[in-house]
Amino acid sequence: MKKIIKAHQTQGKISIGYARVSSTDDRQELGLAVQKEALNFCDKVYIEKESGSNQARPQLQRALNLAKTCANQGLETSLVVYKLDRLSRRMFQLVELMQELNQANIQLKSLSEQLETDSLTGKLLCMLLGYVAEMELENIRTRTKDGLRKAKERGVKLGNQGLSQAKEKQIVRLYQRTQDTQITAQKAGVSRATVYRVLKRQQIALKSRKILDDTTHLR
């Protein structure tokens, strides 16, 4: 960090880029390439592969730490992103980050939206765009919930489907043959607790009182 600051003290300014994608699939990698190309003029670029909703983003924190240190050293410091939602899709997180940057005398630049927070207009537009990004995220959640609801109405089973009848019959047969819940669980590829529940559901008595006592915690 000291080397970076020293190298730019003669210029009196520094641009720090931040790029983020949510995962490592091909489409996301293409998006990362676009961001890196747009930020290639920056003096230092930090790259993150993490969801924007995750607050634990170490590369963003490193970018902020460098920016604050540079600003404290009297450098004209800019934090540059390709698009505002690379920082956050949540309005309140974005506003908090903008306030943090403003207090540290760090300018925020968004290339896609052509925004710079060194003006009141830029600050207002950043907040509005952050609000739009959060609304879009909420719309996605709403569409997902509607899709799940409609699927349920059509009779589609969602989530954990439980044991099939064939699997339950297999567990019963194995237990009747072995009279041992642990062996039954191993051969059926299920937990011992699942074996207990199946036997209870099928009203099959366990081999001994000791085993029965072991299962009381399941009630």
Look at residue 45 and give its three-state secondary structure. Answer: strand
Tokens of 211: 């085993």
Could you tell me if 55 and 62 are in contact, meaning their C-beta atoms sit under 8 angstroms apart? no
Cβ-based neighbours of 3, under 8 Å, separated by 6 or more:
none
Active-site residue flag, 53? no
**CA angle (44, 49, 50) in 5-degree steps:** 120
In the chain, alpha helices (H): 2-8, 26-38, 58-72, 91-103, 120-153, 165-178, 181-188, 192-201, 209-214
Report which secondary-structure segment, H or E, holds 20. strand 13-21
Choose, from 15, 22, 112, 191, the residue flagged as catalytic: 22
Which residues are annotated as catalytic?
Answer: 22
